[in-house]
Chains A and B, each alone.
Chain A
Amino acid sequence: MAEEAREGRSSKDHFEVRILRQNGPGQSSYWERHRVKYEHDMNVISVLQRIAAQAETVDGKSVAPVCWDCNCLEEVCGACSMNINGRVRQACSALVDRLLEDNPSEIELQPMTKFPVIRDLMVDRSRMFRGLTRVKGWVPVDSYENMGPGPRQTRATQEVAYPLSECMSCGCCQEACPQYTKIELTRQEGESEEDFSARKNEAFDRGFVGAHAISQAMLFNSNPTGKNAAGERLDALMAEGGIQVCGNAQNCVEVCPKNIPLTTSIARAGRATTLHALKKWFDE
């Protein structure tokens, strides 16, 4: 299959890339076309690298290089998410051969739509990290002193936890989620950095926390020490913007590049919050 594809386009020595650009926050976006020389084993990152080196559009116009985010180039850092041919995914694992198989005429790149654009394909995902703070996504150990090993855990427990711990905060699940809507604020005249960041966090905390954070809450609630803060995590999931916002559309699980069982986590969180609410009700 791969071999065939390779033969198919070796005759074709260039291909076109259509990119939705935007110079800065709040500015209008525009399409731009680039022509890239075909090479073996290219992915979307190497395409963007060629475009940066050329800095020229299809019509020979000099332009600033397209801005984008990446680091690991092997789909573990989560930096390079974008919409490629209409589907949200990692640019580093988007192979040009496959993309041209699906659509030989061009490759289309757009920034994610659920996060504010900083410039071109680069977006601001700080809300995702805030989500992790919201659900207290950590194990609350006493200290970093030498206290011996952690509690023993069965292989079965590890095998449930491990897949959840692979979440790389890429944002694909939010991009695909119909309930997750963009929150974009701008810094006001005279507003200090701290005040602006506090205002943003407040807005983020009212918005939907997102599938990734729900799943992380379940990860820490299943850790033998992490469990100790299970109630607080469930409280967070029951607050405004919590699990009740999820409409169970299941789009999230389909786009997750790490195949994280998000809907399983969401179902678990649903049950756990219900029990938690009942328990609280009885306790009162």
Chain B
Amino acid sequence: MGKKRVMVVGGGLAGLAAAMKLAELDIDVDLMSLTPVKRSHSVCAQGGINACNEQTRQLGDSEWKHFDDTVYGGDFLQHQPPVKEMADWAPRVIDLMDRLGVTFNRTHEGFLDRRRFGGTLYKRTAFAGATTGQQLLYALDEQVRRWEAAGRIKKYEFWDFLGPILDDQGECRGCVAQDLVSMEIRSFPADAVVVATGGCGLIYGRSTMSMVCTGSAVSRCFQAGAKYGNPEFVQVHPTAIPGADKLRLMSESARGEGGRVWVPRTPHDSRAPGDIPENERYYFLEERYPEYGNLVPRDIATREIFDICVNEGLSVETDKQCVYLDLTHIPVAELNRKLGGILEIYEKFQGVDPRLNPMKIFPAVHYTMGGLWADYQRTAEGGLEPGSPRNQVTNIPNLYAIGECDYQYHGGNRLGANSLLSCIFTGLFTAPGLQNLLESQSGAAAEMDASLFESERKRHQDQHDQLLRRDRGGENPYLIHQELGDVMTKAATVVRRNEQIQEAYQTVSDLEARAAKCSLSDTGNWTNQNVVFTKALQDMFPIAKAILKGALQRDECRGAHYKPEFAMPSLESTDAAGRQAEAEAWCDRFEANNEKWLKSTVVRWDGSEPDIQYEDVDTSLIEPRPRLYGLVGAEVIMEVWKARRAKQKAEKQADPNAAATVGS
């Protein structure tokens, strides 16, 4: 009489939140991770976590505005109900984390302190020094340990998820995984499998992500038939510290606390930065975006820094691309209190004190907005139905995706400090849905005929054995990984051009063929990291191809996806009538473009190539509007846009057959 169990794959914020909530609901959980869960990638998050709060409320903020900022920042590419639900939950998530003992920074009076992050005008971001992700993760890790001690959660750390097990009806009944120490391959029957395995930055070689962020688990689900959404949307963070093994993040909070980005007006000015007078410094973000200044959304900051270095030749250094990120005007005590952790990282890895010298930074791949396609159940009010098993389920029944590895919530571009929120939120919110799912199922997976589990295990075992038996002298997986990273970084990051992407697709296909011929330098069956890496490498190709193909086909600019060929122009005319006409044309083009491209990219793997379809986006709560940060003539465009929408609305009201509900 096997009791029902849920397998949670991944022990970052999302996986841990789901596991502890499931445990509280009296459900037995298996929790699997490549690393001890306490070492998951979420520890890297520095800046903070967003929620509307009592302070911002008094300045006019609300959950609705948080929701609005998130969809506007994401260029309207996300389905709106999940985002609305997340914004509504945000204050509760912070409260819970506070109760769990997260050492959030405090005001003098003892309330949670907040800082401002990019893409909003409110101070919504709660933080714990500059190690917010670490503190949040530890709080959840501790709760999971508590349930582990109580026997409700069983951990499988140092295990690699090899793929879901699907029955004849195509429903998920568990998964196959491999012990990274003993190399044993085993089947795990489960009544639901929750994938919470994070992003896939390693496809780009070096990124701000941790070493296990290969996307292998997601790719294995994708190859088993799960749909993948919005692959081409990959966030490049504007400020990272270039390094040989990793591009270490310099958190947006450095700008949130007043950090200023600049370059000398004279190219490669050889003076020490402190000796360059104010009027010879080009604070290009502040000059180009007076309202948001250094806190423009990430995609914009990234492109501007890229543009200053690559197109305008104003990089601080001659042999390396970088700009200054300057904190030296802020008192050292304040810096230490609010940003201590990240400043130490800079000092430790660069050997220079950022309190006294401006830091040198450049953009780096940072976050995958795209991920496994996930469903949701909408309420009449436009939120999510609590407890519905449809929330976060992939197209494969009983297989769920939460956290960074799902495609919901962030659309074309993620706002800073919204990801930790989406991870914890999806973890907590999905658990009651799983409870209902389990209750609705007739039998338990553990009671099914063992042959399904055994045959899947054997299939993976055979693949593994074959890999080990390869002849020596074949391709070297580590070198192929470097090449893959170089191609992807060149073709599919900040600025994208169709010829370049096409070429990259060819190169990646060639690399894929070569990777299939990798031979191993370790053929043993004890803690063989060589074979684990080779498998992860091979599984990078389906996702890499989906990213490239998605980017190639999407002939527009949206969020992090930028093709200069399709950029919307600034207004040029100097007289009012000319501007008006240009603005009208601009809005026509904007509407036509949305008609064509305001769609989720949804990809299936056909066995060797990605197959792309487009799905409509639920924008029924907040009507898409032009994203005009810093465009010349923005005010005129906005006026024309508003007038036009008012007119269309009036026409619709006059015609009762036009169903769409607009705005609110």
Query: Chain A interface (Cβ within 8 Å of chain B)?
Result: 1-2, 23-24, 39-43, 45-46, 49, 52-53, 55, 62-65, 67, 70-79, 92-93, 95, 118-119, 122, 125, 129, 132-133, 136-141, 143-144, 146-150, 152-155, 157-158, 161-162, 165-166, 168-169, 220, 223, 225-226
Contacts and interface: CB of A to CB of B under 8 A. Distances in A.
Contacts of B428: 144
Contacts of A41: 242-244
B566 interface: no
Given A137-B142, A139-B99, A71 B521 contact: no
Interface in B103-121: 103-112
Contacts of B454: none
Nearest to B39: A77
27 contacts: A43-B244, A49-B478, A52-B478, A62-B472, A65-B521, A71-B40, A72-B44, A73-B211, A73-B246, A74-B248, A75-B348, A77-B44, A77-B210, A95-B351, A119-B527, A137-B145, A139-B139, A140-B146, A146-B95, A153-B106, A153-B110, A154-B110, A155-B107, A165-B101, A166-B341, A168-B39, A169-B38
B96 A144 contact: yes
A146 B92 contact: yes
Given A39-B244, A137-B145, A143-B24, A67 B529 contact: yes
Contacts of A71: 35, 39-41, 210-212
Contact of A155 (B106, B134, B472): B106
Contacts of A162: 103, 128-129
Contacts of B538: none
Contacts of B244: 39-43, 46
B415 to A, nearest CB: 23
A17 B20 CA distance: 44
B349 A95 contact: yes
Contact of B145 (A77, A129, A143, A165): A129
Interface in B79-105: 92, 94-96, 98-101, 103-105
B652 interface: no
Contact of A2 (B105, B128, B129, B351): B351
Nearest to B524: A64
Interface of B: 20-21, 24, 35-36, 38-41, 43-44, 92, 94-96, 98-101, 103-112, 128-129, 131, 134-135, 138-139, 142-143, 145-146, 148-149, 181, 210-212, 242-246, 248-249, 341, 345, 348-349, 351-352, 428, 472, 476, 478-479, 521-524, 526-530
A129 B146 CA distance: 12
A73 B143 contact: no
A148 B36 CA distance: 31
A133 B109 CA distance: 34
Nearest to A138: B142
Given A74-B44, A76-B134, A141-B99, A24 B526 contact: yes
Contacts of B106: 153-155, 157-158
A118 to B, nearest CB: 6
Contacts of B145: 129, 132-133, 137-138
A62 B521 contact: yes
Contact of A147 (B99, B104, B212): B99
A2 B353 CA distance: 12
Contacts of A53: 476, 478-479
Contact of A139 (B43, B100, B112, B526): B100
Nearest to B530: A65
A137 B129 CA distance: 21
A148 B112 CA distance: 13
A91 to B, nearest CB: 10
A165 B43 CA distance: 12
Contact of B348 (A46, A93, A138): A93
A58 to B, nearest CB: 16
A139 B142 contact: yes
Contacts of A139: 99-101, 139, 142
A149 B210 contact: no
Given A52-B529, A95-B351, A147-B95, 8 more contacts: A43-B349, A71-B211, A74-B246, A79-B35, A139-B100, A149-B112, A157-B106, A165-B103
A165 B138 contact: yes
A64 B110 contact: no
Given A2-B351, A53-B479, A72 B41 contact: yes
A65 B533 CA distance: 12
B480 to A, nearest CB: 10
A169 B522 CA distance: 30
Contacts of A118: 181, 527
B106 to A, nearest CB: 5
A165 B110 contact: no
A73 B345 CA distance: 10
B245 A226 contact: no
Contact of B24 (A137, A144, A148, A169): A144
A75 B138 CA distance: 15
B345 A74 contact: yes
Given A2-B352, A138-B146, A75 B521 contact: no
Contacts of B98: 149-150
Given A138-B142, A144-B20, A155-B106, A166 B131 contact: yes
A137 B43 CA distance: 18
Contacts of B95: 146-150
A119 B526 CA distance: 8
A6 to B, nearest CB: 10
Name the residue among A1, A77, A152, A168 with the largest chain B CB count within 10 angstroms.
A77
B243 A64 contact: no
A89 to B, nearest CB: 11
A165 B102 CA distance: 8
Name the residue among A39, A49, A75, A76 with the largest chain B CB count within 10 angstroms.
A76
Given A72-B43, A118-B181, A139-B142, A78 B349 contact: no
Contacts of A136: 146
Nearest to B476: A53
A149 B53 CA distance: 11
Contacts of B35: 71, 77, 79
Contacts of A153: 106, 110
A102 B107 CA distance: 44
A133 B148 contact: yes
Given A64-B530, A74-B349, A138-B142, A79 B99 contact: no
B103 A161 contact: yes
B108 A155 contact: yes
B70 to A, nearest CB: 21
A78 to B, nearest CB: 6
B537 to A, nearest CB: 12
Q: Which 10 A-B pairs have the closest CB atoms?
A: A55-B521, A64-B522, A138-B142, A53-B478, A139-B101, A152-B110, A150-B98, A150-B99, A77-B39, A46-B245
Nearest to A220: B101
B113 to A, nearest CB: 8
Nearest to B144: A138
A158 B39 contact: no
A216 to B, nearest CB: 9
Nearest to B320: A40
A267 B527 CA distance: 40
Contacts of B44: 72, 74, 76-77
Given A137-B142, A152-B111, A75 B527 contact: no
